[in-house]
């Protein structure tokens, strides 16, 4: 009988421990996510509006879109449109891992990849952000990880900016937000950079402060859905570039710029346009197509042999 009682007591203790373990697990805060994560960049859907702090003049904003997958390197092309410069400029390329937990950025005319996004970081980990002030990288520590609005948030011990509000200045911390990226700009450069808002498929998914920044409308330039309306060939080209558009399209124009935004050529697009470009040097250029309202509706990377 004594042996039997001891056996029963041991079983009871094991059951109590198991119940306690289950309860403790249920009570833990959720900091993980079911894989895969939401993609950071989706071609033709993702866009970011970034503010550059210019001091007393306030913020100048620019828009960055994930345009398409590059057929040469397989990465997602990003283009930047600044209101002060009425043209698109190649911003760089993004590569994401298979479960979308990490992303790397490649600047134009470079082969170097920079890790810009890591959703597997834990509290106490550090991440290297590119700094404008220090002209290098700054190691910043993670102070918390949590889920908000069904997106994983990684908060860093770093203040991006302070925005005026009715109750005093509003502090804006540096975050990685799942599917959105850093709360600075897509290439994770800190200092004088602030992510104003982000959209996917023309739907607003992030806004830093709707009262301070009231211009978070969908991006002013997006890739056209029906790419068959535009044919550009040959590409790469040697001396002449051909542009064909649907016969029902009228009053469209084109602009060709270099990667620094300098205008190379501009003109009207007819049903068939033949553009002589034998006088420009070999390299990469950006062709932007505009509709009759002068909205940029498509951008194409050109390669001059």
Distance (Å, rounded) from C-alpha 218 to C-alpha 49? 9
pLDDT exceeds 50 at position 7 = no
Q: Do 234 and 262 belong together in one domain?
A: yes
pLDDT at residue 121, rounded to an integer: 96
pLDDT at residue 228, rounded to an integer: 46
Q: Do 106 and 155 belong together in one domain?
A: yes
Distance (Å, rounded) from C-alpha 68 to C-alpha 42? 8
Q: pLDDT confidence of 11, banded at 50, 70, 90? A: very low
pLDDT at residue 212, rounded to an integer: 57
- Phi, psi (deg, nearest 5) at residue 220: -80, -10
Q: Do 76 and 114 belong together in one domain?
A: yes
Q: Do 79 and 145 belong together in one domain?
A: yes
Angle, CA of 14, 16 and 18, to the nearest 5° = 70
For residues 276-285, average pLDDT: 90
Q: pLDDT confidence of 263, banded at 50, 70, 90? A: confident
Supply the mean pLDDT for the chain: 77
Residues 6+ apart with CB under 8 A from 256: 263, 264, 265, 266, 275, 277, 285, 286, 287, 288, 302
The answer as to whether 22 is a domain residue is: no
* 0.85 surpassed by pTM: no
Which residue range is the domain that position 235 belongs to?
Answer: 227-304
The answer as to whether 287 is a domain residue is: yes
Distance (Å, rounded) from C-alpha 76 to C-alpha 187? 13
Q: Which of 5-14, 102-111, 130-139, 277-286 has the lowest mean pLDDT?
A: 5-14
Q: Do 197 and 235 belong together in one domain?
A: no
Distance (Å, rounded) from C-alpha 78 to C-alpha 284? 15
Q: Do 187 and 254 belong together in one domain?
A: no
Q: Do 62 and 182 belong together in one domain?
A: yes
Name the H helices within the chain: 2-27
């Amino acid at each position: 009988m004594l042996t039997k009682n001891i056996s029963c007591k041991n079983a009871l203790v094991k059951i109590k421990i198991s119940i306690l373990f289950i309860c403790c697990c249920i009570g833990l805060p959720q900091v993980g996510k079911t894989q895969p994560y939401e993609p950071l960049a989706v071609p033709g859907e993702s866009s970011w509006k970034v503010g550059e702090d210019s001091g007393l003049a306030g913020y100048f904003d620019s828009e960055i879109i994930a345009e398409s997958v590059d057929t040469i390197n397989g990465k997602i092309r990003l283009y930047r449109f600044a209101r002060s410069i009425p043209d698109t400029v190649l911003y760089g390329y993004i590569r994401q891992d298979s479960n979308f937990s990490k992303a790397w950025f490649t600047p134009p005319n470079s082969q170097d990849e920079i890790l810009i996004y890591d959703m597997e970081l834990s509290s106490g980990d550090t991440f290297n952000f590119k700094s404008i002030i220090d002209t290098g990288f700054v190691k910043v520590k993670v102070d918390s990880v949590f889920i908000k609005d069904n997106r994983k948030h990684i908060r860093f011990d770093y203040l991006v900016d302070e925005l005026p509000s009715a109750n005093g200045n509003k502090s804006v911390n540096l975050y990685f937000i799942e599917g959105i990226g850093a709360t600075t700009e897509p290439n994770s450069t800190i200092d004088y950079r602030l992510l104003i808002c982000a959209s996917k498929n023309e739907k607003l998914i992030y806004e830093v402060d709707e009262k301070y920044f009231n211009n978070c409308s969908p991006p002013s330039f997006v890739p056209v859905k029906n790419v068959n309306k535009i044919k550009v060939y040959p590409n790469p080209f040697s001396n002449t570039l051909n542009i064909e558009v649907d016969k029902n399209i009228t009053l469209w124009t084109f602009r060709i710029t270099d990667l620094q935004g300098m205008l190379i050529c501009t003109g009207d697009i007819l049903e068939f346009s033949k553009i002589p470009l034998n006088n420009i040097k070999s390299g990469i250029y950006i062709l932007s197509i505009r509709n009759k309202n002068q909205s940029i509706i498509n951008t194409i990377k050109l390669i001059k042999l």
